[in-house]
Amino acid sequence: MNTFSLLFMLILAVSFMLQWYLVLRQIRHIHRHRDQVPAAFREKINPEEHGKAAAYNIAKSRTGLVDLSLNTLLLLVWTLGGGLQMLADFWISFELGEIWTGSLFIIAFMLVSGILSLPMSIYQTFFLEQKFGFNKTSPRTFVLDLVKQCLLLLCIGLPFLCVVLWLMNTSGRLWWLYVWIAWFSFSLIMMWAWPALIAPLFNKFKSLERDALRKRIESLLERNGFASQGIFVMDGSKRSSHGNAYFTGLGNNKRIVFYDTLLKDLTDAETEAVLAHELGHFKLRHIKKRIALTAILSLLSLGLLGWIIEMPWYYEGLGVSTKSSYMALTLFLMIAPLFSFFLQPVFSWMSRVHEYEADSFAAAQAEAENLVQALVKLYRENANTLTPDPVYSAFHDSHPPAPLRIAHLQGMSS
């Protein structure tokens, strides 16, 4: 154990305790306000629905604490407990060479981690979501999703890992720059390919058939000069009763996707307002800004890894003796979230600013009141909490708290 071990354990302990503190604040705040519907929602959400949302969010938060505790323990087992070193020793014994050994090591690590997370995933899907009436996933669909994810990992993830490790081992001191170029290019390709090639493996998509709604949407897109490859309805009800809508794709392969559950609950005018909000993210360049920020942060992260990969204290401090490119990469991906966690309030704040801006755009393109009505319905149907703890929300929430968001929109409509 060295100084880096002590720093790692200190950061882990502080992060763990802070997350517990924030979640407990959230639970207490929601519980304290479970019997009182905020004034802005009383006409649309009754006390019974508000109480159900409170119970649902408290249950999710408590489950999250269990998940956090298990993942923290697992992180210690993998690192200081010697788990990663044992896995590395197993693959090294086959003498396959650095690149294949590293690729199989990382794939095996991901598969083992996935298997260990299965019990929690099963509980969340078939017990928690089922209890509150949201789960529509059958055991068959659940298993098929896992199989498809594993096949994608092997067919796409494994070759890409081989490329990354090859670059790390053959590109000299600037390997981190070449890996970043490869990773960023791969990410853009996946964003472009996702809607047409990968998403259909998990869901069925059909063209929007409601002519009146289609005409409203096409008019909205035409007014804003937005070219889309189609307007689709996804069978979201196959897995959950939660509703959503989103833009997907990149460049000339952009698509608009509505969950069938959302179309069931909203009027055409409300659906148009929701889409106008999502369109706002594109027109205001939020997507490009997020991609640029991700690119910058990933470049800085890989540059940092390019420095510490040569440091013996990095490996020794995290409980491993195998100094290799694949071990350095795996350790970095495991511990980086611990350190970046403390930047979460900044990222959450930026996201909330973007949400307010997209709401303002939607209010200018459609009526603000239509977006208000749509959001209230979505809050109700998805059992979103209307009374989040302010400190928890500032730290974690990517969207403004419901009362503040509705007040912002009502201010524009008046």
The pLDDT of residue 414 is 60
What's the rounded Cα separation, in Å, for the pair 211 and 231?
11
What's the rounded Cα separation, in Å, for the pair 100 and 107?
10
Q: Are 409 and 269 in contact (CB under 8 A)?
A: no
Angle between helices 47-78 and 98-123 (to 10 degrees): 150
Record the tokens describing residue 102, joined without a space: 């590293």
Integer-rounded Cα radius of gyration of the chain? 23
Burial class (CB in 10 A: 0-12, 13-18, 19+), 209: exposed
Q: How many CB atoms lie within 10 A of CB 95?
A: 8
Q: Are 199 and 248 in contact (CB under 8 A)?
A: yes
CA distances from 262 to 237, 378, 400 (A): 9, 8, 20
158 pLDDT more than 90: yes
The percentage of the chain sitting over the pLDDT mark of 90, rounded to a whole number, equals 89
| pLDDT tens readout for residues 277-328 | 999 998 999 999 999 999 999 999 999 999 999 999 999 999 999 999 999 9
User: Out of 16-30, 125-139, 214-228, which region has the weakest mean confidence (pLDDT)?
Assistant: 214-228
φ and ψ at residue 259, rounded to 5 degrees: -70, 140
202 pLDDT more than 90: yes
- On average, the pLDDT of the chain sits at 95
Amino acid letter, 15: S
Quick one: CA dihedral 281, 284, 287, 290, positive or negative? negative
pLDDT band at 154 (very low <50, low <70, confident <90, very high): very high
φ and ψ at residue 234, rounded to 5 degrees: -105, 145
Record the tokens describing residue 406, joined without a space: 């509705």
The pLDDT of residue 411 is 87
What is the longest distance spanned by two Cα atoms in the chain?
Answer: 71
SS3 content of the chain, % helix, strand, coil (to 5): 75, 5, 20
| pLDDT tens readout for residues 35-66 | 999 988 999 999 999 999 999 999 999 999 99
What's the rounded Cα separation, in Å, for the pair 44 and 378?
11
| pLDDT tens readout for residues 113-137 | 999 999 999 999 999 999 999 999 9
| pLDDT tens readout for residues 286-297 | 999 999 999 999
363 pLDDT more than 80: yes
388: alpha, beta or left? (left if phi > 0; alpha if psi -120 to 50): beta
Domains contained in the chain, CATH given: 3-141+289-344 (no CATH), 201-287+347-413 (3.30.2010.10)
Query: What is the rounded average pLDDT of the residues 186-214?
Result: 92
What's the rounded Cα separation, in Å, for the pair 83 and 90?
11
